[in-house]
Amino acid sequence: MAHGGGGGGGGRGGGRINVLNVAEKPSVAKSVSEILSRNQQLISRRGRSQFNCIFEFDYVIRGQPCHMLFTSVLGHLMELDFDDRYRKWNSCDPVDLYHATVRKFVPEDKLNIQRTLEEEARKCQWLILWLDCDREGENIAFEVIDVCTKVNRNLDIKRAHFSALIERAIKDSVQNLVMPNKLFADAVDVRQEIDLRIGASFTRFQTMLLSNAFVLDASTNTDGRNLVLSYGPCQFPTLGFVVERYWEREAHEPEDFWTINCTHRSEEGTATFNWMRNHLFDYACALVIYELCVDEPTATVTDVRHQEKLKYPPYPLSTIELEKRASRYLHMSAEHTMKVAEDLYNWGFISYPRTETDRFSLETDLRAMVSEQQGHERWGSYAQRLLDPEAGVWRNPGNGGHDDKAHPPIHPTRFSNGESNWTQQHHKVYELVVRHFLACVSQPAKGAETAVHVDIAGEKFSSTGRVILEKNYLDVYIYESWAGSLIPTYTHGQQFMPTTLTLDSGVTRPPPLLTEADLLTCMDKAGIGTDATMHDHIKKLLDRSYAIKENAYFIPTDLGQALVMGYDDMGYELWKPYLRARMESDMKDVSIGNKRRAEVLDACLQQMKACFIDARARKEKLFEAMGNFFERSNRSSNNDQTSGGVVRKCDLCHNSDMVLKQKPDGNFMVGCLGYPLCRNVVWLPGSISQAVVTGNTCLTCTPGPVFKIQFKFRRLEIPPDYNADHLGCIGGCDDTLKQLIDICGTGARNTSSTPGRGRGNPTSSSSGQRSNSRGRMACIYCRQTGHSSDVCPSHISQSNRRTQGFGQQNGRGQGNSTSSSIGGRINPRNQDFGRQNGEASIPCSSCGSPCTLLTSNSARNPGRKFYSCQACRNFNGWEDMLSGGGSVPRPSGFASNARRGGRANRSGGGHGSSGAFVSATGEPVSGRCFICGDPSHFANVCPNRGR
């Protein structure tokens, strides 16, 4: 049995207790088990997951005999995602994702790990968490706690804090167990939910709006239809840095400048003197000054300064500095650097590589760490010099001013000349960590610097020389250099004749593109991401084809530029770091208890939801920006329709979903996502201004579920006795919806076509679709199914006489039976083209065809007769408002802008009705167009609509 020290909690003094220990990775579980058990009587067995073994051994904690069961997870045990109702892209309006229900759950591929934890937790009294000691690790710890306490609520829970997988650190941590930090876990929960909601909403919005609307090049879009234009709250500001620098470079216009250079050569060497003005952009001015110097070229020494110069070693190594220096010195990406560093940490050769700390605590035994490196063939001799008091090389490390209170700076934890399983990158990263650590505990390099100032014809020039006296840390830190430059000896008042005196030209250069080290610096200064996530954000830019990396420099792609340009034109600087920096600051406040989790979450999501709504309203800016780089595509299957949520499973193909969509002209429909293989569609009333799929399901229509739609109708386009707001079902049970379709028509394609004068059978390319979508609805007159309201037997009266009248009016002879078809439907009730009860017909004010005298069935005008054109569906006025008897004159004041299958808004005429408006059923409506004020039309047909 191994011996342990302090820590732990309850159960002391009793018999042996079972302790469940959980690490973040299998390799950590194995290493800690081997350290604590000293490889004596260590038993290994398989758990439910083949990758997560269980190690068993005995140990003593604070005098309490323990049987340790040590297993692991694989990073996060749980995922945060939306409920199934919202997970499909077309399941809802993206704006709903800001308040949609989310849940944290164990995904399918980690259920076996969950089962292992549950089985082992049932038989244990203690739970010790060995997760990485940062916010992310703390969040994982509470995921493990959640799983274990559901099966055993009596667990005594403790947390082990460690920064290196070495015996000293592990045994110290088990002797000082603490409580898990809920605030750290809450901060991660806030970040996860914010990123999920914002990322999902903007990603769906961008992708559905743009991916099929433009022809993207092959490097950006490999399959043409499955491109995801992702958005991330950290990813986009990172892209912004790349694009902004690229635009600065592209906008740079070279400008010529001129400068005066002077050299002086003597027996001691050559000195180059720089003009104190640096340069001038005015050639004439520079030439005048130069000629003055040439006329009086004697140089007089005005000042000679000798001073000691120090070049200081770096601060202790943090994660960001490791990534930046590996990029600069080793030419390794930040992502690869972190992967290699994680390996070295898991194998016990360096400390935990994710840390913001760049200062060592006073309790750290730095000399012991240096002592371990004395045997190395390349830097061992320098380590010996550091430990030699007479050499005077040792210096306590500087304080970088950052301390995350969780981990020390990155440093070597075990000596190695290189292991057999190391790659070249492992050797390089380990060497960088060791040399950096040895450098930070070393004296700065020392030099003697001489600065000489001279005067030539009133112009000032200067030269600097340097002698390196002691290299100190530069002897081990081979990545930096400090060159010396000798100049002749000068004294105050000395005069000499310059060897050369020239007027040289130059040109301004654009700022350089960003390297990875530069990009990390920008992100760090702006507070974008954390030390553990910055390299992931950079990688996503490359994975999403928003940027490329060429010769170590980042260049934005056309796609990356277009997206940034679109949001910039909207006036929202979503690509700037300010918004995310505030979020990161708020999350840090959550982690230290200054702000509550719900407070930060609500404030951030409220702000971003408003931003999303406004961005969507200005989506044309994205189209314009994309149009600057890409050609428009014809791939969009439904004329660039935008989706608004899944309504039901398609009842025709039974494979795809039926989705609410809005066409560019504003009309709504429910169409199958399987288009063009499946062309099932339900056209909705043309008077809808807004439509949103809700979570309410219809209890009548089958097969279900059929989700109801919340409609908002334009008030002036529906009869007064109908509500403008309606929660409806498209499955066939909704009488109100069916009546409004019959009254107002639909937003089907080709709605503006007008049949030929006197013809009774106009056709439409969408006739089949309209017939299919409406034929399933019950008749609005007799409430029976099996026929539409257009052919209702109870509503057809005197049809023979109407047909006969039609034939006479068109010169087709007696007895010709001709009927009207709109969208492929027979409309006997609109066939009243001839005389009825001895009354003459009137010509249509729109197309000139004979009108039909019909009887209104509305609640306000029951039995009232009106004239309607069979050919173009134009309402021509009430019978009692027009001149009666014999021959009825054509009413004046009617303007025709009817659409087949839709309502016709007309101004009344004749007999005092001038200036009045009527609805589709002839209901009088007072007022005028609320868009432009013109009384000759309604807002739905206003030429200024949508401007």
Q: Which residue has the tokens 């027996």?
A: 267
For residues 133 and 179, give the distance between their C-alpha atoms in angstroms, rounded to a whole number: 12
**CA dihedral defined by 184, 190, 191, 194, rounded to 10 degrees?**
180
Alpha-carbon distances, residue 830 vs 46, 785, 796 (angstroms): 80, 21, 10
Q: Which of 652-676 are b and which e, b meaning 16 or more Cβ less than 10 Å from the residue's Cβ?
A: ebeebbbbbbbbeeebbbbbbbbbe
Q: Which of 89-126 are b and which e, b meaning 16 or more Cβ less than 10 Å from the residue's Cβ?
A: bbbbbbbbbbebebebebeeebebbbebbeebbeebbb
**CA dihedral defined by 172, 174, 176, 180, rounded to 10 degrees?**
130
Q: What is the CA radius of gyration of the chain?
A: 40
What is the phi-psi region of residue 277: left when phi exceeds 0, alpha when psi lies from -120 to 50, beta otherwise?
alpha
Q: Which residue has the tokens 């390099």?
A: 445
Q: Are 638 and 661 in contact (CB under 8 A)?
A: yes
Identify the CA nearest to 879 among candidates 927, 905, 841.
841
Q: Are 651 and 703 in contact (CB under 8 A)?
A: yes
Element (H, E) at 109: none
Residues in contact with 690: Cβ distance below 8 Å, sequence separation at least 6, in sequence order: 710, 711, 712
Q: Which residues on neighbouring strands pair with residue 103, listed in sequence order?
A: 81
For residues 147 and 786, give the distance between their C-alpha atoms in angstroms, rounded to a whole number: 56
Q: Are 709 and 730 in contact (CB under 8 A)?
A: yes
CB count in 10 Å sphere of residue 269: 13
**Strand 214-215 relative to strand 299-311: parallel, antiparallel, unpaired?**
unpaired
DSSP letter (8 states) at residue 130: E
* Catalytic site includes residue 352: yes
User: Which strands, in side-by-side order, build the sheet including 917-918?
Assistant: 906-907, 917-918, 924-925
**CA dihedral defined by 150, 152, 153, 157, rounded to 10 degrees?**
-100
To the nearest 10 degrees (0 to 180), the angle between helices 597-617 and 578-591 is 160
Active site residue: 86, 352, 382, 546, which one? Answer: 352
Residues in contact with 738: Cβ distance below 8 Å, sequence separation at least 6, in sequence order: 774, 777, 778, 780, 789
User: Which strands, in side-by-side order, build the sheet including 668-672?
Assistant: 642-649, 657-662, 668-672, 681-683
Q: Are 185 and 139 in contact (CB under 8 A)?
A: yes
Which two tokens mark 198? 């914002």
Q: Where does 252-333 have alpha helices with state H?
A: 283-295, 319-325
Residue length of the chain:
947
For residues 769 and 496, give the distance between their C-alpha atoms in angstroms, rounded to a whole number: 98
Alpha-carbon distances, residue 612 vs 99, 204, 302, 615 (angstroms): 13, 11, 64, 5
Amino acid at the residue 366: L
Q: Are 99 and 53 in contact (CB under 8 A)?
A: no
Which two tokens mark 880? 């009692």
Positions annotated as catalytic residues are 352
